[in-house]
Each structure stands twice: as C-alpha cells, then as structure tokens.
Structure 1
Amino acid sequence: MSHSTVDAYPGVAGVVAAASAFVRFRPGLCTLRVIGRSREGRPLHLLTVGLDRPRVRNVLVVAGPHSDERVGGASALRIAERVALDPQLHVGSGSAWHFLLCLDPDGTSRSESGPAVRRTPAEHFRHAYRPPADEQPEWAPSIRPPDDQLPESEALVALIDELRPVLQCSLHGNDIGGSWVQLTRDLPGLSEELGKLSAERDVPVQTGTYDALYWRASGPGVYLMPEPGERSQFDSLPEDVSRSTWIRPHAHGGMTALFEVPMWASPGVSDSSPHPDPARALADLAVLLRHQTGLTRTMLAEVRQAVPRPDANEARLLRIADGVAAMGPRVAEEWEGLHASPVRLSRAHVAALDIAARRMSLRTAGTLLQVLGDSAGPEAVRIRRSGERRLGRWAAELAAGHGLTWLPVPTQVDLQTEAVLAAFRLLSPGP
C-alpha cells in the first residue's frame, strides 16, 4: 500500500480494496471488519493495526465524516501504513490504531461523480454532495431526537464505547483555506508542529476560521473547544459541538482532534494582522450574501417548476438547496451584528468569512444543477446553462479574490498524516 502519487482522491470502494490487500499482507498485525451499515446499506469498514492485548491504548481515526471532503480515506490508508511499518507507533507505545475508512459512504459515493483528477473550483462545487447538518453523522446526534439517530452515528458511538479511545482523530478537508486543527482538549506543542509541517509543504496555517471563530487559540491554527456555557459558533448554525460525536471519547477519559487540510490554499487566511475596517467589510459581505442568495432562490423556484415531480434523489437535493438558501439571510444579519465583536477580527477572519459566504451560494447552485442533471426539456436546458454560467463566474471570482493554489492530493494526504502522527506523539511522548 504505497503512497500514491496520483493527483486524485480514491473512491470509497478503492479505499476498502486497498485496506483488504493491506490486511492480507500483514495478517498477524492487521484486521478488517464491518462495524455497521449506512442508511442505504453500505458497510462501514474498520481497519485495525496493532495487537489486541490487555490495557492497550486505542486510537480511532475517522475518515469521511463530510461527504464532500474526500482526503480522509487516502490519509487513513497512509497513516495505517506508517503505523504498521513503525513498531514504536503500536507495540512500542502500547497502542492499537483503528481506522473507520468512511463514516458517510452514501454521501461520499455521490461526491465521486464528475472529473476524477484535479477538478477546478467550479467543477468541485458542481459535483460535490454536502448533506444538511442533521444528515451528517458527526453532527446528527446534536440535532436529531434520541429515537431518530442515523445508523452511521449509532455505529460510531458504539465503536467509541467499545474502544474507549485515548484519541479520536477526525479527518476533514476544507475546500478553500489553510491547515488547522480543532481540539476538545489542549495538546501543548501541536501548533508549533502544525506550523512546521505546513511551512515545509508551503501551506498556509489558517489563523481565522468561520467554524471556530469563537474558539480560543492554543497557538496559530489550533483551536480549543469552548468551556460549557461559552459561545461556540454562530447562532445561525444548527449544530451543537457539546452533543456531537466529538465529545463521546470524554466519557472514557479521551479526547478528539479534527484535522483540516485544504484543497485550494489561500494565503489570506493566515494573515493575523488586525483588519482596518471590519464593520465595513462585514456589511459588504452581508450585501454580497443577500444578493447571491436571492439569485439562488430564484434558481430554486425555477428548478422546482422544471422538475415538478422529483424522485427521491432529486427531492433530497432540493431539500439541501432550500436549507442553504434559507440560511443565507440569517447569516448575513448575524454578520452585520458581529462588529463590535467579542473576537478581535483580523484580516484572516474576514477572509474566512468571505470564503464562507461565497461557498454557500456555490454549494446551492451546484446542488440545483445536480437536480437538473441531463434533463432535456427546453426550460431545464435554459436553467442549466444559466446556472452553469453563474456558478463558473462565482467560482472564478472566488479564485481570483483569494489567490487560490491547488494543493496536490498527495501533499494533502502527507500533511494530514504527519499532523495526526504529531498529535499522537504529543499525547504519548516516547522515552
């Protein structure tokens, strides 16, 4: 299972096939089993590297928590290979590593449509599948009622309770930005390691984020979960980190770390200097978001007319597009009230918010184009052509405004792998 040099993400089936071959070559050290099934019946595969022995310290690595963030499967395979080849990472540290190869195989399989190699930003948003938060297995427990949980969430929670991991590593891949980590407990020294690893690969460390705007920084690019009762995110977001699967290891004395690497690097997210006029910048972003949301809502109405009897997949996509479009005005209003803010807004913060605003409209437009598919009716053709032109223009504006540089997939995998291993070593220092 050598480190791929192909600039493309492996598919869900390819990751499982590689793990199966890996196990056949190391039968005494590695196992592969199914720990549950997805909503559509796909197996959830767990690759284990390390011997099962008393008092073992388990590490759980979760790939594919977000279906449009596809780097995790390749990173999980790479980390597994590194662990297997280095006894100090398993028997020498009294540890076993467990790799959930894809937490959301249904959604991730949908994101595999379109060009396989080095997509443009427009192609990415045209083909990526991003379900609403209540259908994302890590977030769903914080939103859905206890008697209506996703089978993927239930499988992950049961696995955490079985393994009682000292460290859960969740592998994410932001589409635009830099490298960063979210921690449910501090790991002193991780910021320095992340900075070094990122600099060696010419990747910006993200010092301002939309997701963790209210989280305290342990150091550049490393964010600590707020204490109970403290604000953790924007009110317009439905998720609650305190009830997500990230917290489950705490019941067993463990912790969770989320590792983000970008598809396209943007230098502006690393600029920690104070923004000269954040109030004006936020007001401008609100105007932009309202304008683009209005256009996507018009497109949504047109698509509904063009597809009056949607099938199950089209109905799912329409629900996603409607949810994102409905969130736009709430987000715009919240951002207008962000200044004066309890957070000292830097240029990096404003850059991250600008990316988030443009991403919302790109996701909506791309999802609506997926609803239309290859429909041949004249109205569907007109809407599709107009939507593709708009998506292409918005993606080009985003790329030009943020100086995007594609980060080859092998580099994404390498950076995420080394960041995970650095966190493990800080948690379990050697002799």
Structure 2
Amino acid sequence: MDRYLTVEEVADSARQLVSRHPGTARLRRVGTSRAGRPIEMLSVGHGPHHVLVVARPHPDEPVGGTTALALANRVAGGDGGSPATDPARTTWNIVLCLDPDGAALSKGVETATATPAPTLHDYYRTAFRPIAAEQPEWAPIESRQLPETQALFAVIDELRPFLQCSLHSVEAGGTWVQLTDALPELPSPFRAFATELGIPVQLGTFDALYWENPAPGIHVLPPPHSTARLAPGSENIGLSTWCAPQRYGGITAIVEVPMWATDMAGDPAPHPEPVPALRELAGLVRDGGRQVTTVLDKARAFLPPPETDASRRVLEWMADGLYDLVATSWEQLTRRPTPYPLPKAQICALDIVARRQPLRAAGLLLRLLHAAPDPAAPALHHDLNDLYTSWCTSFESALRLRWVPVHAQVELQSRTVVAAAASALRAQMP
C-alpha cells in the first residue's frame, strides 16, 4: 500500500500492534486537543532509555504517521541490531498525531496524493497548515500555550528522552535533518540512505539558513544567544518543544523528507548571481501574496470570520506581513558588505518557499470560496483558480519535480531516525 495513512488508520494500526504484542507494546492517551480529540502515544519496549517520536506535528505533512508505525513494528519485532532498537534496552514512545485538529482540516491530503502521479494542484487544494501560534511545536515561541503543546512538554518531562525525533516533510526539494546538538555519527549513514533511495540531500534550507552546517544536509541549532543566525520569527526557538529535551541532556532531530524531489536541491555549485536571484525571489513571494490578498479583499465580507474559522485565520496572518517577512529576510542578505555565499541548492530552497507561500494561501481561499453562498464567489473562484493552476504548473516545471513514492519517504525517514537514535545513545553510554 504505497500511500499515506490517515490519522484514523494510524490509530487503528497501533491498536492492532498492541494486540499482537501485548507484553511489549501499549497505547495510552497523553492529552486532549483544543477540539477534544485524543492525543495518543504508542510505547514499544521496556528498556531504561527512552526515544520520543512525534508524528504529524504539521497537519499538511502526512508521512509521519506511516513512519511512526514502521518504527513501532521494527522495535516490536525484536530488532536487536543495535541497543537503540533493542526493546529490552530502549523504549520507543511515539505520539501518533500531535495536531489532530489540524489533521482534520487537512483531511483529504492522503486521498489527493494516492493517485499514480500526484500533483501539487491536488495537494494544495486539500492541505492545511495553521498559523504559527496554533502549531503545537511552535506555539510557545509565539507566547501561546496550547493543550497539545502542554501534553508534549509533560511527556518530555516524564520520559526525559535522550532523543526526540520530530517527523516532518516538505512539499518539494530534498531531505535534510535539523539538530539541537551535534550527532557526529549521523551524517554518513543519512547520506548513504538518501543515495540508495534516490532522494537528493538538500544543501540549503530557509529554516536553517544560518545554522551550523557540519555535513551536507545536517544543520545544528546555534547557541541561544546567536539570534542573528536564526530565521525571522524564530528568535525565541529555545522556548519550543524542540529544545525541551535539553533540560535532561537530550537532543532533538527534525527529520525532513520531500514529497516531490528536485535534483536542483542538491547542487553544490556556487550560484553565479545570488544577489539578483534573491531580489527576484523576494519579488516573487511578494507578488504572489499580493495577488491572493487582492482576491481575499473582495471576499472578506462573506467569508467565515477568522475568530471561528482556522483557514480564514491563516489567510489573514499571511496577508498581515508574512510575505513581507520572508521577502525582507532575503533582501537583507543582498545588503551585506560581503555577500553571503550561496550555492545553487540554497537558491533552489528559497525558490521553493517563494512559490509555496502564495500557493498555500490560494488553496485555502479556493476552498472557502467554493463553499461560500455569495453570488460573487464563483467569479472570484474562477479567477483565482486560473492563477493557482498556472502557479502549480510553473512550480513543477521550473524545478523539474518528481514524486517520491511514499514507501521511499518512509524508509528514508525511519532509517534516519534509527541512525540518530543509535548515534545519540552511543554518545550517552559510558
């Protein structure tokens, strides 16, 4: 079955695993979402060392649930290949879905990408990503406390994991890993896994633009005082759930795998004209955002209010400065006395961000317009859909995107998590 599993399918599979391995696996509720949905954690093994895996922290990144089950089945099967996967030595604790409310609003992504040749057009019409203050891992940075966040903090304080792995994916690009501390043994197997599976290692990323980069595709969070080396909006990253295991000497690994890959993401050659390219990309994200906002302005009067509609909140958040925040951060690079050296891969990574920001907004707005009863809605939907379709086509052709089979995404992510656990455990053992 080469498709993403839904939240419900992941939960059902977890229960079946517990019934098959009653002495090794157990499932419990560790929290409740804002809308009353359960947050469940599957634990496999009885070892004294704890790994914490967080699936579906972003609802538009569906690979994590499927990866979570692959990891659970591996450990439950008695994989003693290393202390990290030996259930007698290490307990794997897997939060099956950190944001079930967001996943409910992204319901349809699994079906939309289950065709033989999924397209961005299908994906963005079903995907949903909440505002930063409503993302459980990120909310503390925005001075917001969510029950989902509090549940995760409580699990971290209870388990004191030596490693937390957050399972993420990116719409387009390559694979990379972000770490809160170095794992020197991870880069070699990570790169080997990606090569074997034919997935490019992404050599640049927007989120970790200024982070330490000890190896291709590996980014290590700089010290807390190095705020100038963080992406805009992440200056208080130390408050996030990613950094919580540091209280107990633990490390967090954020493992990203692409849905659609582009070989351009792994091109290490210096970009011949990075400054004009950065200016062009800043203009691209601003222009796309402006065009979506123009349609939003015409529709505001008959759309659901942001107080009650999460998609509307996202649209207003993006219109209220997010496009400019992204564009300005790139323009600042062009004003350095010595231009920041950028490979073609880094420009590619920023190109992806510039294209996806307006598409995320357009996909949400199209859904709201489709449901709106106002007589003006169909014409606005028609015009925005034309723009949306052209953007999707341009995105796919300009970056020469190719779909990465779900089984390959899961294999790369699960292997990388196991390698990270092995590396982190060896670093802690005397």
TM range (shorter): over 0.9
- Within a 5 Å distance, the mapping from 1:323-402 to structure 2 comes to 323-325=317-319, 326-339=321-334, 340=336, 343-402=340-399
Kindly provide the amino acid, as one letter, of the partner of residue 158 in structure 2.
Answer: E
Structure 1 counterpart of 2:424: 427
What secondary structure, in the 3-state scheme, does the structure 2 residue paired with 1:242 have? helix
State the 1:126 CA deviation: 1.4
RMSD: 1.9
For residues 292-323 of structure 1, the C-alpha deviation after alignment (integer angstroms, 9 at most, x for no partner) is: 1211110111221343x54865x321220121
Matches within 5 A, 1:210-249: 210-230=206-226, 231-235=228-232, 237=233, 240-249=236-245
Q: Is the 8 A contact 1:132 1:323 kept in 2?
A: yes
Determine if the alignment matches structure 1 residue 321 to structure 2 residue 315: yes
Q: TM-score by structure 1 length?
A: 0.92
* In 1, Cα distance between equivalents of 2:322 and 2:420: 35
Change (3 A) 1:143 1:220: same
**Alignment counterpart, residue 261 of structure 1, candidates 257, 264, 288:** 257
In 1, the alpha carbon distance for the partners of 2:121 and 2:368 equals 16
Change (3 A) 1:350 1:102: same
Of residues 147, 150, 153 in structure 2, which corresponds to 1:154?
Answer: 150
Deviation at 1:228, TM superposition (A): 2.1
Cα distance in 2, alignment partners of residues 62 and 311 from structure 1 = 28
CA gap of 1:342–1:40, structure 2 versus 1, over 3 A, is farther
For residue 378 of structure 1, report the CA deviation from its aligned partner. Answer: 3.2
**Aligned equivalents of 1:269, 1:311: Cα separation in 2:** 36
The size of the alignment, in residue pairs, is: 417
SS in 1 for 2:125: helix
Please state how far the C-alpha of 1:86 moved relative to its aligned partner. 2.9
Q: What is the TM-score of this pair, normalised by structure 2?
A: 0.93
- Where 1:337 maps in the other structure, the secondary structure is helix
- Structure-to-structure mapping, 1:66-215, within 5 angstroms: 66-88=58-80, 89-91=84-86, 94-113=89-108, 115-116=111-112, 117-118=114-115, 119-145=118-144, 149-215=145-211
**Partner in structure 2 of residue 3 of structure 1:** none
Cα distance in 2 between the residues matched to 1:61 and 1:361: 31
Note if contact 1:59-1:166 (Cα within 8 Å) is conserved in structure 2.
yes
Query: Are residues 274 and 311 of structure 1, via their aligned partners in 2, closer, same or farther at CA, if it must alter by over 3 Å?
Result: closer
Q: Which amino acid aligns with 2:291?
A: L
Q: Judging changes above 3 Å, is the alpha-carbon distance between structure 1 residues 189 and 343 closer, same or farther for their aligned structure 2 residues?
A: farther
Letter in 2 for 1:126: R
- Kindly state the Cα deviation for residue 93 of structure 1 after the two structures are TM-superposed: 6.4
Task: Name the aligned partner's letter for residue 262 of structure 2.
Answer: S
Query: Unmatched 5+ residue regions in structure 2?
Result: none
Measured in 1, the distance between the counterparts of 2:229 and 2:413 equals: 24
Distance 2:412 2:88 in 1: 22
Shift in CA distance, 198/331, structure 1 to aligned 2, threshold 3 Å: same
Decide whether the 8 Å contact of 2:57 with 2:97 is kept in 1: yes
Is the deviation greater in 197-206 or in 338-347?
A: 338-347
What amino acid does structure 2 have at the position aligned with 1:282?
Answer: L
8 Å CA contact 1:11, 1:109 repeated in 2: no
> Do the aligned partners of residues 343 and 241 (structure 1) sit closer, same or farther apart at CA in structure 2, a change above 3 Å counting?
farther
What per-residue deviation string (whole Å, max 9, x for no partner) do you get for residues 240-269 of structure 1?
321100111111111100100000001111
Q: Tell me the residue number matched to 1:284.
A: 280
Query: Deviation of residue 343 (structure 1)?
Result: 4.0
Amino acid at match of 1:140: A
CA contact (8 A) 2:65 2:96 kept: yes
Q: Distance in 2 between matches of 1:312 and 1:141?
A: 20
8 Å CA contact 1:263–1:412 kept in 2: the answer is yes
Give unpaired runs (5+ residues) of structure 1.
1-5
User: Matches of residues 402-417 of structure 1 in structure 2 within 5 Å?
Assistant: 402-417=399-414
| Aligned amino acid, residue 332 of structure 1 | A
8 Å contact kept, 2:174–2:261: yes
Query: Pick from 44, 47, 56: which aligns with 1:49?
Result: 44
Whether contact under 8 Å (2:186, 2:420) holds in the other structure is: yes
**Kept in 2: contact 1:133–1:238 (CA 8 A):** no
The answer as to whether partners of 1:71 and 1:173 remain within 8 angstroms in 2 is yes
Instruction: Map Cα deviations across residues 186-210 of structure 1 (whole Å, 9 max, x no partner).
Output: 1112111111000111100011101
Maintained 8 Å contact 2:292/2:361? yes
In structure 1, what is the Cα distance between the partners aligned to 2:124 and 2:322?
18
AA at the equivalent of 2:259? M
Asked whether the 8 Å contact 2:302–2:372 carries over to 1, the reply is no
**Aligned partner of 1:346: which letter?**
P
Larger CA deviation: 255-264 vs 116-125: 116-125
